[in-house]
Amino acid sequence: MDNIAFFAGAARNLEGKATAEYSADHTSSIRREAIGVIASISPWNYPLQMAAWKILPAIAAGNTILLKPAEITPLTSLLFAEVATQAGLPAGVVNILTGRGSTVGAELLRHPDVDMLSFTGSTGVGRTVLDAAATTAKRVHLELGGKAPFVVFDDADLKAAIHGAVAGSLINTGQDCTAATRAIVHRSLYEQFISGIADLYANVKLGPTQDPNTDLGPLVSETHRDKVAEMVERARGYARVFGGGIPDGDLASGSYYRPTLVADATSDSEIFRDEVFGPVLAVTPFDTDDEAIKLANDTPYGLAASAWTKDVYRALRATREIRAGAVWVNDHIPIISEMPHGGFKESGFGKDMSTYSFDEYTVVKHVMFDLTGVAAKPWHRTIFSAGEG
């Protein structure tokens, strides 16, 4: 609802360079114009929220949009479009096309009537989107994977960092590109941090999301649960693993997986480098601030990060030197409509949310008016010989 309210107002506040005489004989102004037809492909992990993030800035900027939701979570996008129609949006402005990415998605990517592609999902599929866009030189916006570092310095509030890591790693059952996945903890706090996380993880209650007593619901599918489980089982061969496993009893038939802490994971290990997209936190120690920053940046991703410290200078250094699209200080995960969301490096380019998203969904046009009314302009001397023109 906040996204809707924000973009409704932002549509009335498009920014551009001031109309002025940058050349003595001309007045110049900027127009921000709609790109045209936007094809968006949204992921399964936040299907309703991602539909809003794609649709709202696109139509607020004056475009029409064709959204293809993930094939396993299409219903909320269809409901969104129905409500948009009931609210009075003209027919053809918001369109939902369901189907598999390999067929429907692939057709959208290369369709000549599509003017821009917006994709949120894995980095691997993002490369496919780029390849397809190159065939017709379409504009592209990509929000891809992440492996967010959670850096705990030696002066951090340890209790706050432990609670923040548990919440930041388990949000949406860990199926979040910005989730805390790599805890990089000063050696003086390392064992206390591990113990605190393990204790809180052990008390997390798994169950149906309709139950108000549930802390952690299921993963999106049994196939995805099994992928998470396999990565954790491999990690048991090279690190200390606390928790994990598929629960027994009634929950065994669902897609549930217990919160998992993987300690002593080296920076080159699979669990520390690759996206798990589940309730799994890998932890490694550091000794110096330089080492912490290096470890935080030792990833192909750059979507989000956090730094935990009471030292303002240390915090400023972390926010300056960690290469990520969002860096939180003493918190991890909050996102607001007024601020942009998007990554560095292989986490993509372009922004969702905020007025910065209008840079993705508009094209800038320069309009120039002659002020003189003179037929022969001074610059015409580059064409006409002296005395002619």
Please identify every residue annotated as catalytic.
Answer: 143, 177
Hey, what's the torsion of the CAs at 276, 46, 57, 37, to 10 degrees? 80
Return the axis-axis angle of helices 190-202 and 158-170, rounded to nearest 10°.
Answer: 50
Dig out the tokens for 289 from the structure.
């601030």
Dig out the tokens for 168 from the structure.
């930041």
Q: Residue 341, class by beta-carbon neighbours within 10 Å (0-12 exposed, 13-18 middle, 19+ buried)?
A: buried
* Residue 270: its H or E element: helix 270-273
Phi, psi of 260 (to 5 degrees): -135, 130
Strands (E), 53-179: 64-68, 94-96, 116-120, 139-143, 148-152
Give the DSSP letter of residue 253: G
In Å, what is the CA distance from 253 to each residue of 105, 114, 203, 243? 31, 42, 21, 19
Instruction: Using DSSP, state whether 177 is helix, strand or coil.
Output: coil
Strands (E), 156-303: 180-186, 240-243, 260-263, 280-286
Give the DSSP letter of residue 350: S
**DSSP-derived pairing of the beta strands 148-152 and 180-186:** parallel
Strand partners, 326: 304
**Token pair 């250094």 is at which residue?**
317
Residue type, 64: T
